[in-house]
Amino acid sequence: MGSPDKLWHRLSVRKNGLLSLLGLPLSALIYSGQAHADFYLHHWENHRAVPNALTLDLQAAYFESNTNFDPDGLRYIPSALSLYQRIQTDLGISYGWSPQLSFYGRAAWARIELQHTSRPGNGYGFTDQTLGANFRVFKSARETGLLGSIDLQAQLDFPLYDNSVADANLTPHLGDQSMDATIGAFLTSNLHKSRSGILSLSGGLGYTYRTLSYSAALPWSVAASFEPNPEDRQNRFGGQLAILGVASLSTDPRGSSLGLTSSAFTSPGTGGSYMSAAINPSLATLRGRLTVDATEELRFFAQGATSLFGGAAPGGTFFSGGMEFSLDGPARGDATKHSASMTPEEYGKANQGFISYAFEARVLRVNDRLNMIKLDKGSSEGVQTGQIFDIFKVNPDRSPGEAIARARVTSVKTDEAALTITEYFKEVWIEEGFIAKRPLH
């Protein structure tokens, strides 16, 4: 598997490479005076990454619209607009720096076509780019429950385009050309776990500040997801049903001065569609997603979405498909690699290399709040205060699985012992019946 120095060097190169890659669009932002995020196609979603894994996400999408929601929420067809079409490709990259901290970014390119009586045409180029970070502040030790995890997330969206060039060439605008900075949080609840997978419910809420006098907004999302169990090879399918949106805080000073109605304001850059230059836009979108895990590292997905309701926003339909590929682990947010495919450094700081064990017991009880467990053996079996045990999960066939935690004996009775968890190797909830082994040092 290589020496520890070589393995650490490999990990350091990946981390440095990630920072360099994320630094490219950041440098473009610093030297560019204009910026924006496309408000309707990229939603506020949790981008937590697999710890110590570099994941690539490649997606191709198609969006079309010929209607708007006016400021009162009524759907109408903009004058002279027949169709707005957008083909977009996204390359996403994410890296789990640690079990708590993740970094992510997205590079996006699009081709837009307007079917319009007075300003038809097409344009293409880089659109709104993304940089962000995610920090896990809490994760429950229980596998199911209303409070599963809490994640904080900060995101910056900016463009690599110039609308003045599009106006000079009479081509469509690629976005609003405002910079968007968003901060918010996500709460995830694991509702049910079965052998085939985990059913979860998540919700997210953020606050977005936009430049160029565009209104501040509250992006939000609610999603029900099913993640297949990687240990169940009979099921490789997952899915998600989500409602995603953005609610304007109506801080745009142009809103009151224009006395905005459906005909009082149009966007020449997008043929009257509110895909750009909308004042105080709000929108809710329904999206369905299907995933197929080809391997532990490769996942394919397809999804479709449609606008439900909104104000000063475009109505339309959206279809996309793509793949997620992890270079270091499973292509899913909370999954972990199997120990057989790990280097000693990846497996866990306290459990590196090959370890022999001299004693085995079973977990009788678990106290999540105190981070303690109780074993079914005590002093009569040679257990003593201060001894170290590694805790192993149990596979569906009841065979020992991988080590997930390390614990120290804090008190002993004749037939049982209490231990305090000192370190987690894996983000796995400890259950009654798990195996505890005492390593030989």
What mean pLDDT value characterizes the chain?
Answer: 82
End-of-domain residue from the set 338, 357, 373: 338
Copy the structure tokens of residue 376: 């079914």
pLDDT at 354: 52
Q: What is the dihedral of CA 355, 329, 142, 389, to 10 degrees?
A: 10
The pLDDT tens digits of the residues spanning 137-185 come to 998 867 677 888 999 999 999 999 999 999 888 899 999 999 999 999 9
How many residues are present in the chain?
441
Tell me: do 192 and 329 sit in the same domain: yes
End-of-domain residue from the set 338, 361, 379: 338
End-of-domain residue from the set 315, 338, 361: 338
Residue 309 has pLDDT above 80, yes or no: yes
User: In Å, how far are 90, 258, 325 from 59, measured between CA atoms?
Assistant: 5, 39, 12
Q: DSSP secondary structure string, 156-208?
A: EEEES--HHHHHHHT---SS----EEEEEEEEEEEEEE-SSEEEEEEEEEEEE
Q: pTM of the predicted model, to two decimals?
A: 0.70
Q: Could you list the residue range(s) of the whole structural domain that residue 194 is in? A: 4-338
CA distance 146 to 399: 30
Tell me: do 211 and 352 sit in the same domain: no
Tell me: do 108 and 172 sit in the same domain: yes
Q: Tokens 């066939």: give the residue.
A: 397
The pLDDT tens digits of the residues spanning 252-276 come to 888 766 555 544 566 778 988 999 8
Closest CA to 360 of 433, 426, 429, 441: 433
Which of 79-93, 166-180, 333-347 is the least confident region? 333-347
Q: Return the CATH number at 197.
A: 2.40.160.40
Domain count of the fold of the chain:
2
